[in-house]
Structure 1
Amino acid sequence: MTALLDIRDLDVALPAVSDRRFAVRGASLRVDRNEIVCVVGESGSGKSTLAHAVMGLLSPALKISGGRIDLDGRSVTDATPADLRAMRGEKMSMIFQEPLTALNPLMPVGKQIAEGFRAHNVKASGAGIAGRVADLLRQVGLPDVERVARSYPFELSGGQRQRIMIASAISLKPRLLIADEPTTALDVTTQAQVLRLIVD
């Protein structure tokens, strides 16, 4: 059976001026459907870079210089920018490490979640999409969803922003969900709640 995610001998090269040649060197990983896999390592060992490579979101200074990434039998490494946009959301999604920098500071969070539906041509009226956004916000345990949907990221707590990121990441029911240290800077109670949401 084809793996959901298959990474083989992946190298991600750093710019020539760096103190080392690779951010990721020879990484191989297989994730099957309905499987939870944790990648652990020291700070700076390439965990986030690996996640960004899978999503096709490497910074311009970083380059995949060897190996390959396949998602559900389809190459991510050789995908065009349009192909990657189509894959993100429905096939794969990511909960970023710091939601305050991942969320658009100039747009209410409800509109940001709704953008995902519109970008993937989800057929629903404006009211239908607003209803789906409200359902997602309830699903991740946010109170007063109408107020939260109208809020800007800076108006919400760290735990609320992280829940918004989870709602956005699961909105299109992706086959692969990548979580990059999703509980960083959260209190212990909120950490446990966020981890339960991701597993559910």
Structure 2
Amino acid sequence: MIIHGDVAFMIISTVLVLIMTPGLALFYGGLVEKKNSLTIMFQCFISIGVVTVLWIFGGFGMVFGSDIGGVIGNPLNYFGFMGMNYLINPQYSSTIPFLLFFMYQLMFAIITAPLMTGAFANRITIGGWIKVLILWMILIYFPVAHWVWGGGFLSKIGFVDYAGGAVIHITAGFGCVAGVRFLGNRAVKNDKGPFNLGLV
């Protein structure tokens, strides 16, 4: 198999986006007080595992599966890697193997929810975070990603999001606002400033 330059570039880009999640863990972990640093980091790292399982078992289909009313993709499409291979899916690329496309999109799904962990610091437990993560991915991220990238109603009217500003940053931003409004004030306010600016 010949690896073209664009395939090599996509492999490198996939790895770089994956590295963003541990980077975010260090960034947020350095901003909170010392006793909450590991909690914030754990919330970022647990997202890698939880979102990957969701993505394999229905999430990818909900985003890129066959369109259901312009709102969501069919979660049974590609469920558990069904129909996934190294061949090229012309619907998404003329040169990128479909499995690589799957992995690349997974990296963005992984990084999105941890963007909210800074707003949830001192407001939610690990168990609560896992519940929020699962519900938020299924009810917010997967549908919005389908609307924009998977052939949903926004893409049909010409909406384009090349860098994830709508799918990733706007959804995470509104998730932060909703979380803060719902959870209320922090349990303990950080009056000591950032724990470790070196990590930041």
TM-score of Structure 1 vs Structure 2, range by shorter chain? under 0.3
Greater RCO (CA < 8 Å, at least 6 residues apart): 2
Which structure has more strand as a fraction of its residues? 1
Which structure has more helix as a fraction of its residues? 2
TM-score, with structure 2 as normaliser: 0.24
TM-score, with structure 1 as normaliser: 0.24
